[in-house]
Every structure is written in C-alpha cells, then in structure tokens.
Amino acid sequence: MAQTTVITFYGRSHLSEKALLMFKEIPSFRCYRSIKSVNTLLNALLNCKEYIKIGEMLKNFEKYGTPDVCTFNILMKMCCNRGDLRNARQVFDEMCKRGITPNVVTFGTLINGLCANGELNEAFRMKRVMERDFKLKGTNAFVYVALIKGLCKVDDLLGYIDEMEGKGCKPDVISCNVIIRGLCDDGKLREASELLDDMPRRRCKPDVVSYRIYLDGLCKAMKFKEAAVILHEMVFKGYENFAFI
C-alpha cells in the first residue's frame, strides 16, 4: 500500500500531523485501514516521539484489528526509549499472555533497553530465554550489538563474568564472544587472551568465531606476530575450517 510508504516517510521526517492525516485519508483511496497501516502509523509517531498520540491510537485500536507482534514490538520500543523498563516487561508479558510469539526484534528491543540501563544480568537472562524457550538464535546482529554496547560500559569485564557465574548465570560461547569483542574494541587484548584461554575451564569451548574476533583485535592493533601464533594454535587444536577469517 503506497499510503503506508508515505506515512513512513512522514515519520522519518518528523511530520507527525501529516502522517496522521494520511492515515485518516486511507479510505478515500478505496483502501481499508489494516493492522499493517496502524503499525506503520504507530512507528511513525514513535519516530516523532509523539507518545501521547500513540496512547490515543491505542484507545481505538479494536476498530482496525487485533494487535500483532509488530504492534507489541513498537510499544516495547516506546517504553525502552523512555527508560521505562517496568512497562516494557509488562508489554512483553501481555504479548505472551495473548499467545503472540515474540520474535528476534522483540528480544533485541528489550535487551537493548536493558543494556542501555545497565541491567546486563537481566539482558543475558533474556538472551537465554530467547534461545531456550523460543528457539531463536542469539547471534542476531541487533542483540549482539546491544550486548557489546552494554558490556563496554563495564570496567572489569572478566570480573563481570565471575559475577555472572556467582549468580548462577553461566556464560555460553556467544556471551564469551561478546565479551571478547568488547575487550578487543577497548584495546584490552591481554584480558581477551585470558578469557579465550580460560573458556574451557568455564566449560565453554571457544569456537571459530571466538578466535576470529581475537585475531581481528590483534590485526587492528598491528600485532601480526601474535596473530600468526594464534593461527598455528588453531591448527594444532583442530580448528581447520577457518578459511573465512
């Protein structure tokens, strides 16, 4: 529907009144206002930070259809943008209560909000829920970047892993890879190497991605001799399929 494209454009241009006018005029184009067009308008209003108008739209939502996963994702993002994590969790709970299955965007939005507010333990818990209960992969770029940004705010990342384990939050290979990336991006290559060596003790075997991240950090730091040593170590340990590195 061309009208939804126009509404999206108005949202990106922060022209909320024009977005609303286009939504109201949809029937004049011999089209009906569907859940897709409502979601498009909600997202446009969110881009304009028109939270009151979003609330007004929600009061009459039943006229247009039943909220879907996209609707709840938009509402959750609104809560996270306002730093209102309590209501973001309530939106998530309401979504599940209605039998609507969350997707990667749902978890990425919530995890990003948690990381932005320093709730890293809860962010990693939600990642595990995403993978364990909903069988969604935690390697999604949105989730990965959110976790990296959150972890980069932690001064002692290795200590943070110990804290996670002390609270019963055993880090998996993806969590460790995120932390290795955070350490490398922060120039803490020694700590990244320590974590890489320490992963087997934590019952978390490094994968090719673990080494790729560390190698990338070494090369960016112009430490090519150390990178060559790591490549030989990978061959010795049986990591033969790393031609894409």
Q: Are 88 and 110 in contact (CB under 8 A)?
A: yes
Instruction: Give the per-residue pLDDT at 23.
Output: 93
In a domain, 138, yes or no: no
In a domain, 63, yes or no: no
In a domain, 242, yes or no: yes
Instruction: Give the per-residue pLDDT at 242.
Output: 53
Name the strand (E) or helix (H) holding 174: helix 173-185
Q: What is the DSSP string of 178-211?
A: HHHHHHHHTT-HHHHHHHHHHTGGGT----HHHH
Instruction: Give the per-residue pLDDT at 31.
Output: 84
Whole-number Cα distances in Å, 27 to 5, 60, 208: 16, 17, 54
Instruction: Give the per-residue pLDDT at 103.
Output: 94
Query: Over its length of 245 residues, how does the chain's per-residue pLDDT go in tens digits?
Result: 588 999 999 999 999 999 999 999 998 888 888 899 999 999 999 999 999 999 999 888 878 889 999 999 999 999 999 999 999 999 999 999 999 999 999 999 999 999 888 888 888 889 888 988 998 875 566 787 777 777 777 777 777 777 767 766 677 788 788 889 888 988 889 999 999 998 888 888 899 899 999 999 999 999 999 999 988 888 887 776 554 44
Dihedral angle over CA of 204, 207, 211, 216, nearest 10:
-110
Instruction: Give the per-residue pLDDT at 39.
Output: 95
What pTM did the predictor assign? Answer: 0.71
Residue range of the domain that includes 228? 172-245
In a domain, 51, yes or no: no
Instruction: Give the per-residue pLDDT at 244.
Output: 46
Q: How far apart are CA 144 and CA 20, in angstroms?
A: 34
Domain count, the chain: 1
In a domain, 227, yes or no: yes
In a domain, 59, yes or no: no
In a domain, 224, yes or no: yes
In a domain, 128, yes or no: no
Q: Are 8 and 40 in contact (CB under 8 A)?
A: yes
